[in-house]
Amino acid sequence: MHLAGQLADFAAEHTDWLRIVQLPTYAPELNPAEGVWSLLRRSLTHFAVTDLPGLARIIKRKLKKIQYRPHLLTGCLTQTGLTLDTPTKP
């Protein structure tokens, strides 16, 4: 929870397009990035690297493959139950 007064003022000024939702302090099931890390870990199971630059190169390559498969990224968001839909005004 952000306690900065400037943030609260900003949020109050932009209610026409900004919606704030309180989430639990620790909720990996609501974080789409956790799904991406899971995909990455699964794709690295059969690799053995001997140095850090080699590991970084493989990780970058695997993340790039995930990036170009939008259905995988959509699935990571879908599993959270969250959406990118614009909320309708009441």
* Per-residue tokens: 64: 């790039």
Q: What is the C-alpha separation between 34 and 58, in angstroms, rounded?
A: 19
Every domain of the chain and the residues it spans:
28-84
Q: Which residues of 76-88 are buried (b: 16+ CB within 10 A; e: fewer)?
A: beeebeeeeeeee
Q: What is the C-alpha separation between 58 and 49, in angstroms, rounded?
A: 9
Q: Which of 86, 83, 77 is nearest to 29 (CA)?
A: 77
Confidence of residue 28 (pLDDT cuts 50, 70, 90): confident
**Model-wide pTM > 0.85:** no
Q: What is residue 82's predicted lDDT score, i.e. its pLDDT? A: 78
**Residue range 65-88, pLDDT digits in tens:** 999 998 998 898 888 887 777 666
Q: What is residue 86's predicted lDDT score, i.e. its pLDDT? A: 66
Q: Three-state SS for 75?
A: helix
Q: What is residue 89's predicted lDDT score, i.e. its pLDDT? A: 62
